């Protein structure tokens, strides 16, 4: 585990990254994200910013030479879910879960219907085991950063972030 001093430095660097991303200074975002990853190689926020900065800079460079091609979507692993393991709804019934889209190390993603806005969304249940207050704050900060980027071609749009009981969740556009 990193020392408290290293954690404070990483937090300051992440704050700087957010400011630079808000100003769309992607070269600076790239440099700062790499610095964070030197101190905290598993930092999810820095990894997200690094990917966005690299793809944006690559896309911008390609546009200068030729029309940029859209990014190739990552394959989604589709798995059947057992009826007992799959939730049916969240947020007082606002999100009606339809089926499991895939699962990773940190979350399970479902196809869901937003009954308030009448649209299909990706509903991600964030795995709560092992999450401390620092991890929960990081998840919120990452969602806020993604939300501030708005409609960016390399980042999904975050529609909602919440918690039901002790279960955190994130709702994003369906890709």
pLDDT of residue 85: 59
Q: What are 127-170's pLDDT values in tens digits?
A: 777 777 887 788 778 777 777 776 777 777 888 888 877 778 88
My answer on whether 157 and 113 are in the same domain is yes
Residue 148 sits in the same domain as residue 110: yes
Number of domains in the chain: 2
Least confident of 24-28, 44-48, 90-94: 90-94
**pLDDT recorded at residue 82:** 40
Does 60 share its domain with 103? Answer: no
**DSSP letter for each residue of the chain:** ---HHHHHHHHHHHHHHHHHHHTT-HHHHHHHHHHHHHH-TT-HHHHHHHHHHHHHHHHHHHHHHSPPPPPPPPP-------TTTS--EETTTTEEEEEEEEE-SSEEEEEEEETTTTEEEEEEEEP-TT--HHHHHHHHHHHHHHHHT-S-TTSPPEEEEEEETTEEEEEEE--
Q: Which domain holds residue 135?
A: 89-173
- The verdict on pTM exceeding 0.75 is no
- Give a yes or no: residue 16 inside a domain: yes
Distance CA 16, CA 33 (A): 10
Q: For the segment 49-90, what is each residue's pLDDT rounded down to a tens digit? A: 888 888 777 776 655 555 444 444 444 333 443 433 566 767
What CA–CA distance (Å, rounded) separates 115 from 54? 36
What CATH number is associated with residue 128? 3.30.200.20
Measured CA distances, 110 to 11, 58, 87, 90 (Å): 31, 31, 9, 12
In a domain, 76, yes or no: no
Report yes or no on 116 lying in a domain. Answer: yes
Q: Do 124 and 165 fall within a single domain?
A: yes
């Amino acid at each position: 585990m990193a020392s408290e001093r290293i954690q404070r430095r990483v937090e300051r660097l992440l704050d700087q990254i957010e400011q630079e991303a808000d100003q769309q200074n992607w070269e600076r975002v790239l440099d700062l994200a790499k610095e964070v990853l030197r101190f905290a190689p598993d930092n999810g926020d820095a990894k997200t910013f690094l990917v966005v900065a690299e793809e944006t800079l690559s896309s911008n460079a390609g546009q200068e030479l030729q029309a940029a091609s859209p990014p190739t979507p990552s394959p989604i692993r589709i798995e059947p879910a057992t009826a007992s393991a799959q939730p049916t709804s969240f947020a007082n019934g606002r999100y009606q879960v339809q089926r499991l889209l895939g699962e990773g190390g940190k979350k399970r993603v479902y196809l869901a219907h937003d009954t308030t806005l009448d649209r299909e969304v990706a509903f991600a249940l964030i795995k709560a085991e092992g999450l401390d207050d620092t991890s929960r704050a990081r998840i919120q900060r990452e969602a806020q950063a993604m939300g501030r980027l708005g409609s960016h071609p390399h980042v999904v749009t975050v529609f909602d972030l919440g918690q039901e009981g002790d279960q955190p969740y994130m709702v994003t556009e369906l890709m």
